[in-house]
Amino acid sequence: MQVQDFARYDIDPALCRFSIKVVAEGFLSAMGHNPTISARDVSGEVRFASAALDQAFLRIRIRPESFEVTGDASPKDKLEIETKMKQEVLETSRYPEIVFESSSISLSKTGDEGYMVNLTGNLSLHGATRPQTINCQATVNDETIRGFGEFSVRQTEYGIKLVSVAGGMLKVKDEVKCSFEIIARKRA
């Protein structure tokens, strides 16, 4: 199958949702925040052909400068968390993009337009690239692809310094949970 036989879909940033759940641990964790971080700048592309499901492709780009704290933290705490996250943890001026690019995809049909999807690829984050597997559900039709799921990332595997205060009595867990809903529209 030639590359031009694949339908190409562009991720619609206005319709995407990508969030990261950060959990505090340590003796003072009950006093700390467990913020949810939402990405506002998500883009990418999907290539898909029903005749060659195993050759589908996904690339997602996220600009971490667009991350913002959502939830019930005070405006002062949100600003403090966002500033520390962008400047000290993710170092967004040095590492302006987070990219996932699939290397293999396996799909199993669950209905007329539905699929269970196992994506294997590379996640580039904070100057490091590591293998990442993502399981999700997707629906595909002539005009759109919608995918949603969850996966985990261990920050230290990407050289990210874990935030700690009060002499380690309050710190961020290494593993963060990422959830997403991606909608891509077919190119004209």
User: Based on C-alpha coordinates, what's the Rg of the chain?
Assistant: 18
Structural domain of 175: 3-186
CA angle 91, 175, 21 (to 5 degrees): 80
Q: Read off the pLDDT of each residue in 17-27 and give the average, rounded to a whole number.
A: 75
Residues forming beta bridges with residue 136, ordered by sequence position = 117, 149
What pLDDT digit, counting tens, does each position of 91-140 carry?
A: 999 999 999 999 999 988 898 889 999 999 999 999 999 999 999 999 98
The total number of structural domains that make up the chain: 1
% of the chain at pLDDT higher than 90: 59
What pLDDT digit, counting tens, does each position of 70-105 carry?
A: 877 778 878 888 888 899 889 999 999 999 999 999
The CATH code of the domain that includes 35 is 2.40.128.110
For the entire predicted model, the pTM comes to 0.86
Q: Which two tokens stand for residue 105?
A: 């995809």
Rounded CA gap, 60 and 121, in Å? 11
Residues forming beta bridges with residue 44, ordered by sequence position = 60
